[in-house]
Structure 1
Amino acid sequence: MHKDLKPENVMMSSPRSASIQDLHVVVVDFGLAQMFSETERGTEISGTPPFMAPEVWAGNFSKSCDIWSCGVMLFFMLSGTLPFMGTRLEDFPKLVAAEPNWSLIGGASSEAQYITFHMLCKTESGRPGAQDLLTDRWFSSHTSGSEGAGGRSAAAGVGLGLMQVKERTSFERFVARLVATQLDAGQLKRVNEAFNAFDVDKDGALSRDELLRGLMMLGASEEEATKVVDELDVSRTGRISYTEFLAGVTDLRSKSPHQRDKLLWLAWQQFEPDAQGLVKTGAIQAALAARGMKVAEMPKGFLQELRRGASGTITFEAFKSLFESDSSCCMMNSFVGSISDGGPFASAR
């Protein structure tokens, strides 16, 4: 559960000039989010008052509270006014228990009014689920047509690139993951088309089955496709996020020297080098943690380069040289164990 969905936390990683088919929407600020199961209930009353569901105010809620918040945003988009507005915090439990002024969205289509009404149902059982919304006629009629010839063509081209991911060194994959979080999705039309073509159920992520089937339809064997999916599913959730997919198609070796240097520099900047151009161990660990990565996922050559300096630092030139280094062709093994015992990072303070 995100638990704080509101317009400020829904952003576009695309330029304003991008066409509607090329828009890529992302959700940010997971400070209140928590993992959930089908039977688990939340109890902490938190969030942004105008977007909090009745059951959240009661301290007994499920993932359906996010559907309510999306319904509030949809009402706002259709009317320009929030459905529940109060001047005092204690006003909101009573406000959300009452009906909003439905006439405010009277100018919207009947389908839009219908889905908004159900998303703002007072009882959780009466609200649609996320999957129900994706298949709803009003929502599905506004999705991009990437399943057409353009989408299939893009999927074929991008799919060929994905098949090469298992041949890349650990350092290349490491850099690709860093770079993928910074690339402008609005400038990656064919990648977006390919992702949408693979994303059959349009839920914004690729299940293992979706990507396996997609790659096999492009001619990959089941064994080859499985290796690619395993390589892309870094988080081991059984689902490939857009960022993981983008990292998979980011092939540094296919770039010109100038383009490759720009990508390496972009990756390097994620470690926030100091005024002397040096990156310390602590900055690296913080940058990795912020991107859901772990120290153990760093290539062996990168760790060895860190250990060479008594201060536990690395320069951009040393970082760049690792791209061609034979030592970065495999992931670290028993060497990782020394980290917890004060190994290569022990000297950094």
Structure 2
Amino acid sequence: MLQMPTPGYGQARQGPSRPTTPVPDIRRLYGAQSGLPEGPVKALDQSQLVKGQQLDYWSDHNRCWMPALITEVDSESGGICLNVKPNAYISRADQRRKIRARTIPRKEQVAMMRAILQQEKVEEVAEQIYISAAGSDSRSVPIEQVPNLGAYLDNLLGLVGSQIHLTQSARSDNGLTMDEFKKVFWELLQMQQDISVQAIPRFSIESIREGSPWEKYSKGKELGHGTYGYVYLANDKHSKQVRAVKEIAKEKLQGDMQAMKKEIENLTNLDHPHILKLYEVYSTNGHIYLVTDFCPGGELHSHISAARRSRQEIPESWIAEAMLQLMQAICHIHVRGIIHLDLKSQNIMLMPSQKTAAFFGQDAPSQTGFATKPHLIVIDLGIAMHFKPGDYRGNRPMGTPMTMAPEVWCGEITPEADVFSCGCVFFELLSGDMPFRVKFEGNFEDIVKFWRSKPRPASVRASADAQDLLKNMLAQERGKRPSASQCLGSAFLKKAVPKGKGSLDDAKREALIKRLGTVHCRSVLYKNVALTIAQDWPPNQMPTFKQLFNELDVLGTGALSSETLEEALMRHGIEQGEATRAASAMNLSQDKAAIHWTEFVAACIDLSLPEFEPKVFKIFQDADTDKDNLLAADDLMNTFPQGHKYSKETAATIFRDLTGRDAQDKGARMDWSTFYRHLRSCALNGLDASLASDLQSLQSSQWGIFSGVVDVISTAASTYFASGGSQKSPHGVTFPGEKAPQSMKDMLKALAEMGFSQTELNRKIIREKGGRLGDDVIEAIMQRS
């Protein structure tokens, strides 16, 4: 039997002191480190005081620490409002005493509770703890002793606020009964286990890989160059995903190395379909390599310039869609506590938008690139900084003079500065020119005089709604300027929200919502594999997912709050308890009370679809370290996203569940059939037979739930198998990817969706290489396009 520590009930708590269990620094916790930090804990810094941040709050009423999240931040004073204290702001002075980083269970705490569950000792352990608190002859724990019992559970489980759960469960003023305690103990135990299996950190600066990316990627043509290095087109040799690789010479960085690290950190803190995605970072003695999305559409600035040269007006419907996407991205950046500070049309890229040809009708001239729906990507967070509420003055002016807000020149930097810069982009889209001709030649006094003169931009031809939004965004007084979220509520940007044709129909929405409502029924292995796949997809290839994500994102923050998601699920007939569990199960990173874009995509993925089989098989192959087509328990850890805190313990549990054998058993292995059969069956867990059938039929249609996703993935992944990668199992199992040759139309379509749009060149090279789409074709196109 497990030996439990004896509870210490000698003294009541005195003031907001630390619990016995060390509380890890939340920033380090979500880095790719092997263990949790020990010792004293730093208080939350200013960069973490953002809306949605989870933390611990000292409740004077309950005399304990309790979980909470920030609901509002006052930018002027720096005060914060919490969900557990909704009508009062906590001042900056009180924050030092009343809040701290969120408490997360340590490895040994998780391991102990997991052993209790596996040995089916929950009842026995609960009784042992209860008797120690109540005494063998007592029928209840006196109500005055409940706080001490809660403190013990907090230290045992690595949580906070246990005494509140116990107090609320005590139905009598006489105290807490054993049955009531057992119920709370089980709920807290489940909560701890949910947190541990989903403690998946976001990519961080500690995740930099040593070595060159050119072992994994084929190097293509140069896309551009700058002060510090070059940008190259790159192709993943296995998945065939097209990327851009930014090669930066360390010797040229010199004193700017910190700025480079800052850009990496900023990109890793963001997760949005309209913000450049950083996939990997490599480092050698001489260079740093950033692997990011490839944006074949080029800079927005070049499209505006081409339209101006040809005297073509950009359709206002296109501008509305572009500005909607831009403000959604900026709102997400601001919610994460970051200010971009260098927003301009040169730092906004375009990607082809899947399934949206002729979205705006025939009135838009195709030669200017405005005939199809845009997909904007915000780039270059090199000078971005964290906003310091209540302490935002006295900064060094930074940005591009032509688009910098007036107050930035005086060192006053707030999120509204980005709104002004976006207003400059808006003006440029409408007129082809800049609103203000700011010329900075080193004399700040000249700039101050310029803005004191209250210059007015030229008038533009646009609708009344566009004129109204533009005027507000370009307001020279910061206090009169709307926030990014207020811009999203403007009449002009609301026009860009899909309605009727192009919007998500009821059947598809209902089917996807039902899948989201059963996420908690999927296994840990399923969720990890789905997340690995979701992390690899360019956002422009998921229009259906993005439409539903935007519908659910009612606050426009680029993340779905747990409460909002629960309400949406309940509106579609899902019971409250199930909705709560589903929302929690989607929150894989557990770093905020919100579901990020990649987590949402992972929740939508249906691994039972045959189109995903090649992708899943690739994950299986990569996990197989000895290449015998069998996975040991330790191999399963390779299927998890990098940096999973409890990967070894979780892998051992999964292995036992799927094979019936312990991870330590000599020769114990899992074959492909067992692995894939589990994922396919797990995909339909929680769905009744009729709904599962409806989902399958919807997914087969052109605008079905997964259109624009599985077509691209299956076509690209099958390239790997078609070019010699397919294998036969020694056990007679047929592996995925053994398909008939693709037609020329299919191959050209796949190349176009990868970003290779020169159809005739693509056709010529395919024929030169034997009529098959393989590595040699991709490499030849990249060199010759």
TM (normalized to structure 2)?
A: 0.33
1:194 alignment partner, one of 535, 548, 551: 548
The answer as to 2:612 corresponding to 1:262 is no
C-alpha contact (below 8 Å) 1:155/1:198 kept by paired residues: no
SS at match of 1:178: helix
Give the deviation of 1:35 after TM superposition: 3.6
1:278-297 to 2 correspondences below 5 Å? 294-296=643-645
The answer as to 2:590 corresponding to 1:238 is no
Structure 2 CA distance for aligned equivalents of residues 115 and 295 of structure 1? 44
1:31 alignment partner, one of 369, 373, 382: 382
1:108-119 to 2 correspondences below 5 Å? 108-119=462-473
C-alpha contact (below 8 Å) 1:97/1:122 kept by paired residues: no
1:117-128 to 2 correspondences below 5 Å? 117-128=471-482
1:1-349 to 2 correspondences below 5 Å? 1-12=339-350, 14-15=352-353, 18=356, 24-36=375-387, 38-41=389-392, 43-86=395-438, 88-90=440-442, 93-94=447-448, 102-103=457-458, 105-145=459-499, 150-235=504-589, 236-252=591-607, 254-256=608-610, 259-262=612-615, 265=618, 294-296=643-645, 298=647, 300-301=650-651, 323=675
Structure 1 residues 147, 15: closer, same or farther in 2, change over 3 A?
Answer: closer
SS at match of 1:115: helix
- In structure 2, give the amino acid aligned to 1:83: P
Structure 1 residues 249, 13: closer, same or farther in 2, change over 3 A?
Answer: farther
- In structure 2, give the amino acid aligned to 1:301: A
Give the deviation of 1:75 after TM superposition: 0.9
Structure 1 residues 172, 219: closer, same or farther in 2, change over 3 A?
Answer: same
Q: Which has the higher strand share?
A: 2
Structure 1 residues 229, 31: closer, same or farther in 2, change over 3 A?
Answer: farther
TM (normalized to structure 1)?
A: 0.68
Residue identity over aligned pairs, in percent, reads: 27
Structure 1 CA distance for aligned equivalents of residues 614 and 530 of structure 2? 13
Q: Which stretches in structure 1 are left out of the alignment for 5+ residues?
A: 272-283, 306-317, 327-349
Structure 1 CA distance for aligned equivalents of residues 552 and 380 of structure 2? 27
Structure 2 CA distance for aligned equivalents of residues 224 and 89 of structure 1? 62
Structure 1 CA distance for aligned equivalents of residues 535 and 356 of structure 2? 19
C-alpha contact (below 8 Å) 2:503/2:547 kept by paired residues: no
SS at match of 2:536: coil
C-alpha contact (below 8 Å) 2:402/2:439 kept by paired residues: no
Give the deviation of 1:193 after TM superposition: 3.0
Give the deviation of 1:215 after TM superposition: 0.7
Q: How many residues align?
A: 294
- In structure 2, give the amino acid aligned to 1:140: K
Structure 1 residues 88, 321: closer, same or farther in 2, change over 3 A?
Answer: farther
Match of 1:340 in 2: none
C-alpha contact (below 8 Å) 2:428/2:434 kept by paired residues: yes
Structure 1 residues 5, 97: closer, same or farther in 2, change over 3 A?
Answer: farther
Structure 1 CA distance for aligned equivalents of residues 553 and 529 of structure 2? 25
C-alpha contact (below 8 Å) 2:620/2:672 kept by paired residues: no
C-alpha contact (below 8 Å) 1:83/1:100 kept by paired residues: no
Structure 1 CA distance for aligned equivalents of residues 512 and 615 of structure 2? 21
Q: What root-mean-square deviation, in Å, do the aligned CA atoms of Structure 1 and Structure 2 show?
A: 4.1
Structure 1 CA distance for aligned equivalents of residues 501 and 647 of structure 2? 37
Give the deviation of 1:239 after TM superposition: 2.7
Structure 1 residues 5, 294: closer, same or farther in 2, change over 3 A?
Answer: farther
Give the deviation of 1:71 after TM superposition: 0.7
C-alpha contact (below 8 Å) 2:353/2:375 kept by paired residues: no
Structure 1 CA distance for aligned equivalents of residues 620 and 413 of structure 2? 40
Structure 1 residues 197, 17: closer, same or farther in 2, change over 3 A?
Answer: closer
C-alpha contact (below 8 Å) 1:2/1:66 kept by paired residues: yes
Q: Which has the higher helix share?
A: 1
Structure 1 residues 180, 319: closer, same or farther in 2, change over 3 A?
Answer: farther
Give the deviation of 1:228 after TM superposition: 1.8
Structure 2 CA distance for aligned equivalents of residues 26 and 238 of structure 1? 25
1:267-318 Cα offsets, whole Å, 9 max, x none, are 999x9xxxxxxxxxxxx99x97xxxx6442657439x99xxxxxxxxxxxx9
C-alpha contact (below 8 Å) 1:154/1:193 kept by paired residues: no
Give the deviation of 1:217 after TM superposition: 1.2
Structure 1 residues 76, 266: closer, same or farther in 2, change over 3 A?
Answer: farther
Structure 1 residues 61, 186: closer, same or farther in 2, change over 3 A?
Answer: closer
- In structure 2, give the amino acid aligned to 1:84: F
C-alpha contact (below 8 Å) 1:75/1:116 kept by paired residues: yes
Structure 1 residues 97, 174: closer, same or farther in 2, change over 3 A?
Answer: farther
Structure 1 residues 200, 60: closer, same or farther in 2, change over 3 A?
Answer: closer
Give the deviation of 1:261 after TM superposition: 2.0
1:115-141 Cα offsets, whole Å, 9 max, x none, are 212211111101011222122112212
C-alpha contact (below 8 Å) 2:341/2:398 kept by paired residues: yes
C-alpha contact (below 8 Å) 2:345/2:425 kept by paired residues: yes
Q: Which has the larger radius of gyration?
A: 2
SS at match of 1:56: helix
Structure 1 CA distance for aligned equivalents of residues 559 and 390 of structure 2? 23
Give the deviation of 1:80 after TM superposition: 1.0
1:158-215 Cα offsets, whole Å, 9 max, x none, are 1122233223333332232232233244443432332233233444432222211111
Structure 1 CA distance for aligned equivalents of residues 537 and 560 of structure 2? 19
SS at match of 1:72: helix
1:23-44 Cα offsets, whole Å, 9 max, x none, are 5544333333344364341624
Give the deviation of 1:146 after TM superposition: 7.2
Structure 1 residues 39, 143: closer, same or farther in 2, change over 3 A?
Answer: farther
SS at match of 1:60: coil
Match of 1:331 in 2: none
Structure 2 CA distance for aligned equivalents of residues 159 and 265 of structure 1? 28
C-alpha contact (below 8 Å) 2:517/2:578 kept by paired residues: yes
C-alpha contact (below 8 Å) 1:174/1:298 kept by paired residues: no
Structure 1 CA distance for aligned equivalents of residues 456 and 614 of structure 2? 56
Q: Which stretches in structure 2 are left out of the alignment for 5+ residues?
A: 1-338, 361-372, 624-636, 656-669, 679-785
Structure 1 residues 7, 87: closer, same or farther in 2, change over 3 A?
Answer: same
Structure 2 CA distance for aligned equivalents of residues 319 and 89 of structure 1? 68
Greater CA deviation, 18-27 or 29-38? 18-27
- In structure 1, give the amino acid aligned to 2:461: G
